[in-house]
Amino acid sequence: MSADYPLAGHRVVITGASSGIGAATAVAFAAAGARVVLGARGREGLDDVASRCAAAGGIAIVRSVDCTDAAAVAAFAAEARDLLSGIDLWFSCEGVGVLGRYEDVPIADHARVVDVNLVAHMNDVHAVLPIFLAQDRGIWVNMISAGGFVATPYAAAYSASKFGLRGFSAALRGEVSKRPHIHICDVCPTLSTRPASTTPATIRAHGSRCRRVRSHPRR
């Protein structure tokens, strides 16, 4: 966010924006003068982030959306495009994790991790890429993780989803390689200082089999 790339007036959409890195990024964009539309499942968290954007001198429009629902994401993207008169940048920041021995964690929990961490990001791009193509410009930012490079024992589904995201980005770059003003960007942080927030999913402690399904600010 340097003077070399002023953000005032840029049209930005952030999904997974109700906490962690997504929320912090929303506040930073708003403070820099970008026009921001935020999406996530939790309206309470979104309203809190919108208040923080206002306190930073910006404005954020918030909408509740479950990004694992492709039709809902398509509708959200269309509304964001209409609200902003286009979209310059879309930041996909959805993420959850489950910890435990692979065989001890219910397969539904593993599936949920892949659905949120990988499929939701794919839904985002499927909705916004046609907008970018029509504009002949746009930036998609894909929140991955250092976990997309180094597999983590006891987080097999998380590792699978993050490695999958890297492959997805690489494939997309090839598809838009002849569109010089459309960019596919990856962000791969390690750990953030903000604690993860726990979902209502089961938390079970049994020696090394402790597991939890949670949102992941570290992504």
Question: Could you tell me if 155 and 205 are in contact, meaning their C-beta atoms sit under 8 angstroms apart?
Answer: no
Question: Could you tell me if 17 and 46 are in contact, meaning their C-beta atoms sit under 8 angstroms apart?
Answer: yes
The token pair at 64 is: 């509740």
Q: What's the CA gap between 89 and 194, in Å, rounded?
A: 24
Q: Select the more confidently predicted residue: 86 or 7.
A: 86
User: Strand pairing of 213-215 and 96-98?
Assistant: antiparallel
Provide the mean pLDDT of the chain: 88
Q: How confident is the model at residue 218 (pLDDT cuts 50, 70, 90)?
A: very low
Tens-place pLDDT, residues 129-163: 999 999 999 999 999 999 899 999 999 999 999 99
State which amino acid sits at residue 81: R
pLDDT at 105: 97
pLDDT at 3: 54
Let me know the angle formed at the C-alpha of 154 by 112 and 115, rounded to the nearest 5 degrees. Answer: 15
Active-site residue, selected from the candidate residues 5, 102, 154, 158:
158
Mean pLDDT of 184-190: 93
pLDDT at 4: 63
Q: How confident is the model at residue 192 (pLDDT cuts 50, 70, 90)?
A: low
Say yes or no to pLDDT of 204 above 60: no
Q: Select the more confidently predicted residue: 73 or 213.
A: 73
Q: Look at residue 135 and give its three-state secondary structure.
A: helix
| Active-site residue, 154 included | no
pLDDT at 74: 98
Burial of 202 (0-12, 13-18, 19+ CB in 10 A): exposed
Tens-place pLDDT, residues 159-184: 999 999 999 999 999 999 999 999 99
Say yes or no to pLDDT of 49 above 90: yes
Tens-place pLDDT, residues 75-111: 999 999 999 999 999 999 999 999 999 999 999 999 9
| pLDDT > 70 in the chain, percent | 84
Question: Could you tell me if 172 and 184 are in contact, meaning their C-beta atoms sit under 8 angstroms apart?
Answer: yes
